[in-house]
């Protein structure tokens, strides 16, 4: 039997990064075994539905590269079928009407258990289970009825979901059995915490996929990072392409304990991916990111600046601060400007020919000798005058790209 899994978000808001990680596991699992991964929106509670959220969910998944087959489906698509099945259960005596709603009978003794692919054997005493409402008095199914019903009809083989569903599982197993269906395999993925050990939320930083995208992370870096949150192929390998990811992924190697989201490690990993990009690809992605974030800087210059920053910044969002001086004038801290050095630099650079990084380097090194100063003493004021900061891309390249006229104007302007 081929593998079929589903990602089942509720349309109540944006896609949370913890949920994305669970979806990623679904996708990796299916992809690695030629299976199918479906997307089903759990919308039985229409009152909580948030407009746009389905669009957002789909857009987020696409950006990350998580694919799904069969189109997006909705739980309410099966409204009639759910009502028929509920009626069938009443007829069979395994469910009954209660104040207009339909409740399913739950056993009162014994235990219900399953072998969780991640957590191992889990058992619940049946005495713990109440007869649950499967059909509301308004005729709509409840989650714990609609979800297993859909899983059955969609022929889902593995339910891979957040471990906040663990206590729903025995209920759903009974629903399935009452329906005459064989329960799927279950795998409950532990949750993701923020750095304070509490559930990941806004105040920890970015949590929605959109926010990571806005911060300038690469989708493949985020995917790699997410895959390693709670899963490890061997304890040694960290950087993995998506092909390698789904080749190596297995539920058996997903850890049973919750993981903490480490933004610093994500930053590092994003840098690794950024630096590994070809110059061409890097420039293209940077350009796209800037355009999507309303920086209308000339593309030609952005592309020219790309190689200067590729080794330097860890996220595209750092670009405006780091290389913005190439697109607008700056206001340096006067305390860092040395007028003697700047005056000498202006003179020397005005004679540099041709205006290339290599020639500028020669000029500035000679200047250091003439002034009898160390490079750091000479370069700092120039860097600050031109870039507005003591931290910037390489000085020679920056000067070259800025152009002689603008560079000299800034040096002169700031030396007065």
Q: Return the closest-CA partner of residue 15 out of 210, 218, 195, 192.
A: 210
Choose between 163 and 346: whose C-beta lies nearer to RNA. 163
Say whether residue 105 binds RNA (CB under 7 A).
no
| Shortest distance, position 192 Cβ to RNA, whole Å | 9
Site string for RNA, 266-285 (x = CB under 7 A): -xx--xx--x----------
Choose between 152 and 231: whose C-beta lies nearer to RNA. 231
| Shortest distance, position 170 Cβ to RNA, whole Å | 8
Cβ–Cβ under 8 Å, residues 240 and 233: yes
Rounded CA separation 55/52 (Å): 5
Choose between 244 and 262: whose C-beta lies nearer to RNA. 262
Binding to RNA (CB under 7 A): which residues in 361-380? 361, 375-376, 379-380
Q: How many residues does the chain have?
A: 416
| Shortest distance, position 47 Cβ to RNA, whole Å | 8
Near RNA by CB under 7 A, which window of 222-230, 290-298, 325-333, 338-346?
A: 222-230
Cβ–Cβ under 8 Å, residues 248 and 233: yes
Choose between 302 and 364: whose C-beta lies nearer to RNA. 364
Cβ–Cβ under 8 Å, residues 106 and 126: yes
| Shortest distance, position 53 Cβ to RNA, whole Å | 12
Q: State the Cα torsion 85-91-93-99 to the nearest 10°.
A: 80
Choose between 45 and 299: whose C-beta lies nearer to RNA. 45
Say whether residue 98 binds RNA (CB under 7 A).
yes
- State the pairing for strand pair 185-189/158-162: parallel
| Shortest distance, position 6 Cβ to RNA, whole Å | 12
Rounded CA separation 85/153 (Å): 12
Rounded CA separation 155/167 (Å): 22
Site string for RNA, 226-265 (x = CB under 7 A): --xxxxx-xxx-x--------------x-xxxxxx-x-xx
Bridge partners for 72 per DSSP: 39
Say whether residue 87 binds RNA (CB under 7 A).
no
Q: Helix H segments across 241-317?
A: 242-248, 263-276, 279-292, 299-309
Rounded CA separation 75/55 (Å): 16
DSSP helix/strand/coil, 112: strand
Per-residue tokens: 265: 């490690």
| Shortest distance, position 294 Cβ to RNA, whole Å | 26
Binding to RNA (CB under 7 A): which residues in 144-183? 144, 163-168
Choose between 339 and 390: whose C-beta lies nearer to RNA. 390
One residue of 392, 401, 402, 410 binding RNA per CB under 7 A: 392
Say whether residue 316 binds RNA (CB under 7 A).
no
Rounded CA separation 396/45 (Å): 61
Choose between 83 and 294: whose C-beta lies nearer to RNA. 83
Say whether residue 132 binds RNA (CB under 7 A).
yes
DSSP helix/strand/coil, 400: helix
Q: Helix H segments across 123-249?
A: 143-153, 169-179, 209-214, 219-227, 242-248
Binding to RNA (CB under 7 A): which residues in 4-33? 10
Q: How many positions of this chain bind RNA (CB under 7 A)?
A: 84
Choose between 168 and 299: whose C-beta lies nearer to RNA. 168
Choose between 48 and 340: whose C-beta lies nearer to RNA. 48
Q: Return the closest-CA partner of residue 210 out of 71, 68, 13.
A: 13
């Amino acid at each position: 039997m081929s593998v079929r899994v589903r990602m089942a978000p509720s349309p109540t808001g944006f896609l949370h990064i913890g949920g994305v990680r669970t979806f990623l596991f679904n996708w990796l699992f299916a992809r690695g075994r030629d299976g199918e991964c479906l997307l089903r929106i759990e919308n039985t509670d229409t009152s909580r539905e948030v407009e746009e959220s389905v669009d957002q969910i789909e857009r987020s998944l696409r950006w990350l590269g998580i694919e799904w087959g069969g189109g997006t489906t909705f739980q309410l698509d099966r409204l009639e079928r759910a009502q028929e099945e509920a009626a069938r259960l009443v007829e069979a005596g395994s469910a009954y009407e209660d104040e207009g709603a339909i409740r399913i009978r739950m056993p009162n003794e014994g235990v219900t258990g399953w072998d969780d692919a991640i957590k191992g054997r889990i058992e619940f005493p049946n005495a713990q289970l109440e007869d649950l409402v499967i059909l509301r008095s308004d005729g709509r199914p409840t989650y714990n009825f609609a979800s297993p019903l859909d899983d059955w009809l969609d022929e889902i083989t593995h339910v891979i979901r957040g471990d906040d569903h663990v206590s729903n599982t025995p209920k759903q197993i009974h629903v399935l059995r009452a329906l005459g269906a064989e329960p799927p395999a279950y795998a409950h993925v532990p949750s993701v915490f923020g750095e304070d050990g509490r559930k990941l939320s806004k105040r920890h930083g970015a949590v929605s996929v959109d926010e990571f995208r806005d911060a300038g992370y690469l989708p493949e870096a985020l995917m790699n990072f997410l895959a390693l949150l709670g899963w490890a192929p061997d304890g040694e390998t960290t950087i993995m392409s998506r092909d390698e990811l789904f080749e190596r992924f297995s539920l058996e190697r997903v850890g049973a304990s919750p993981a903490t989201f480490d933004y610093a490690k994500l930053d590092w990993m994003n840098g690794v991916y950024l630096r590994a990009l070809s110059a061409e690809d890097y420039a293209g992605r940077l350009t796209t990111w800037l355009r999507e974030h309303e920086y209308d800087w000339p593309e030609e210059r952005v592309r020219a600046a790309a190689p200067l920053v590729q080794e330097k910044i860890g996220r595209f969002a750092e670009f405006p601060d780091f290389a913005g001086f190439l697109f607008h004038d700056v206001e340096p801290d006067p305390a860092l400007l040395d007028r003697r050095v700047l005056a000498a630099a202006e003179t020397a650079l005005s004679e540099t020919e041709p205006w290339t990084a290599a020639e500028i380097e020669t000029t500035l090194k000679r200047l250091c000798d003439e002034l009898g100063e160390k490079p750091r003493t000479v370069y700092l004021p120039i860097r600050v005058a031109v870039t507005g900061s003591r931290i910037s891309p390489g000085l020679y390249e920056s000067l070259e790209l800025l152009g002689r006229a603008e560079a000299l104007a800034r040096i002169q302007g700031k030396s007065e």
